[in-house]
Amino acid sequence: MELFIDPDADRSVTRQLYEQIRDAILSGRLGPGERLTPSRAVSAELGIARSTVTDAYESLAAEGYIEGRAGGGTVVAGGHGSYPRSPPPGALAPTPRSAALRRYDDDPQAEAAFDLRPGRVDPRLFPAVVWRRCVLSGLRRVSAQYGDPAGTFDLRAALSRWLASSRGITLTPEQMVVTAGTGHAIDLVARVLLSPGDVAGVEEPGYPPVRELLRSHGVDAVGVPVDEHGIVVDAIPPAARLVYVTPSHQYPLGVVLSRRRRLELLHWAGRHGAAIVEDDYDSEFRHTTRPLEPLHRLDRDGRVIYVGTFSKILSPALRMGFLAAPVTLVPAIVAVRQAIDWCPPPATQEALTGFVDGGHLGRHLRRVRAAYTPRFHRVYRELLDRLPADYRPLQTHAGLHLAVVGPDTASQDDPAHALLRHGILVASLRRSYQNPGPVTGFLVGFGALPTEQTAAAVDALATGITALTGR
Ligand SMILES: Cc1ncc(COP(=O)(O)O)c(C=O)c1O
């Protein structure tokens, strides 16, 4: 433990040492059994007499805070739990705008028999052996210096080739910026396109973290209703400078933005001089029909910023994603990125480049699709069969979660809370709304649910819902 001496203090040096060590023990910074630095070393480091240190240690020992250890040395004694401290008067506080933000995963450590929260992938499908190889060979190539804030040219080139073949999007590496996932990409875009007080359109219901992110910039994130064809373009506020959409698989309802709406949205953005952020977070997992053309591919006026992520394809733990922007925006985005954290992690970029260019991504995707698609069909069928009639899984074609909509009554206990009491973690549908009204429902993520456990999980879920509705 680092000890400090204030030469101007009105307390003796012995007292100062005593208080620092006692406070560290009481606050839990020094735990039971932890060894104290020998008095000889402390006296040498601080340039004080050894007896000053031993006096402090003796007082602490007399009060039971520390004790001698059989083999020599002094350790922290047990039984001094940390005490909660109330913040000092005048402690730092966030601005009202930041204080109003709410995290989406209220309890990330929550445990239950079945974790069916959306956003989870199957860790058993992570290609650990190949990834390890890519990391090791990437480490041999990586430069031990700051890198390009846009990401390495090689990774951007690899990503643009992959997007050309998988999504039919034509991009140059100069349009691409490697990011730490979707939220980070949208943060960069918001910083260069929006000012506090601006209006942005977000889907209602929608993805809460993006709403909160826009609010953190002082942007008025206005909810725009979603129907069976996707976002209702006529309802977008005319003042919106940016519209955030999930066209391939609307979060959370799962509808696909129809081709007609896609064209209307692009036309709207052209007329209003607004930007569209296309979040294509999980379209790699199409379970039934063929995907529609991405908005980016239909865009003739350079209005669309395309955002992708490796959170679903590989793992959310990698924190890797990208954006493709009109070249007019890229220099500002890159400058902002550099001002924040300079560049994406060079070693992870090298590993990912090897993974994409080595053909591993294609092979991995074939493997995970083969695992997720039967799981999707099975969970959907089980939910249809087992849930009470007034709880309906919405038809969807892609992704790793399903939305279940319940009866229109806000008076009921939120099913997500009720299900937790039955050992099941799901996300509340109400949380995806800014103004939920009487809606009830929940989101079932099946990414991390082994196929052989679907029947047991849905069984537990149906029991919980039946208990909630009293039938
Ligand atoms: C709508 C949406 N976008 C993006 C993501 C992924 O975000 P990130 O790339 O920041 O991990 C998710 C994750 O569940 C999501 O639901």
The 10s digit of each residue's pLDDT in 40-63 is: 999 999 999 999 999 999 999 999
Name the closest-CA residue to atom 14, ligand 1. Answer: 119
309 lines ligand 1 (CB under 6 A): yes
CATH number of 13-76: 1.10.10.10
Summarised one tens digit per residue, pLDDT across range 280-307 is 999 899 998 788 899 999 999 999 999 9
246 lines ligand 1 (CB under 6 A): yes
Ligand 1 pocket: which of 245, 309, 348 to mutate (most atoms <8 Å of CB)?
309
pLDDT at 388: 92
- The lowest-confidence range among 328-337, 356-365, 415-424 is 415-424
Closest-lying ligand 1 atom to the alpha carbon of residue 319: 11
181 lines ligand 1 (CB under 6 A): yes
Q: How far apart are the CA of 311 and the centre of ligand 1, in A? A: 7
Closest-lying ligand 1 atom to the alpha carbon of residue 309: 9
The candidate with the shortest Cα–Cα distance to 248, out of 262, 234, 268, 266, is 262
**Non-local CB neighbours of 209 within 8 Å, separated by 6+ positions:** 104, 183
The H helix count followed by the E strand count for the chain is 15, 16
pLDDT class of 69 with cuts at 50, 70, 90: confident
- Say if residue 81's pLDDT is above 70: no
Q: Where are the domains of the chain?
A: 13-76, 114-120+363-469, 126-358
209 lines ligand 1 (CB under 6 A): no
310 lines ligand 1 (CB under 6 A): no
- Say if residue 209's pLDDT is above 80: yes
Fold designation for 126-358: Aspartate Aminotransferase; domain 2 (3.40.640)
Fold designation for 114-120+363-469: Aspartate Aminotransferase, domain 1 (3.90.1150)
- Say if residue 411's pLDDT is above 70: no
Residues 449, 452: Cα–Cα separation, whole Å: 8
Ligand 1 pocket: which of 182, 305, 432 to mutate (most atoms <8 Å of CB)?
182
Q: How far apart are the CA of 44 and the centre of ligand 1, in A? A: 53
pLDDT at 370: 94
Residues 31, 24: Cα–Cα separation, whole Å: 9
Residues 464, 471: Cα–Cα separation, whole Å: 11
- Burial of residue 366 (number of CB atoms within 10 Å: 0-12, 13-18, 19+): exposed
Q: Alpha helices, DSSP H only, in 27-68?
A: 39-46, 50-62
32 lines ligand 1 (CB under 6 A): no
- The lowest-confidence range among 91-95, 194-198, 327-331, 467-471 is 467-471
Structure tokens at 28: 């839990």
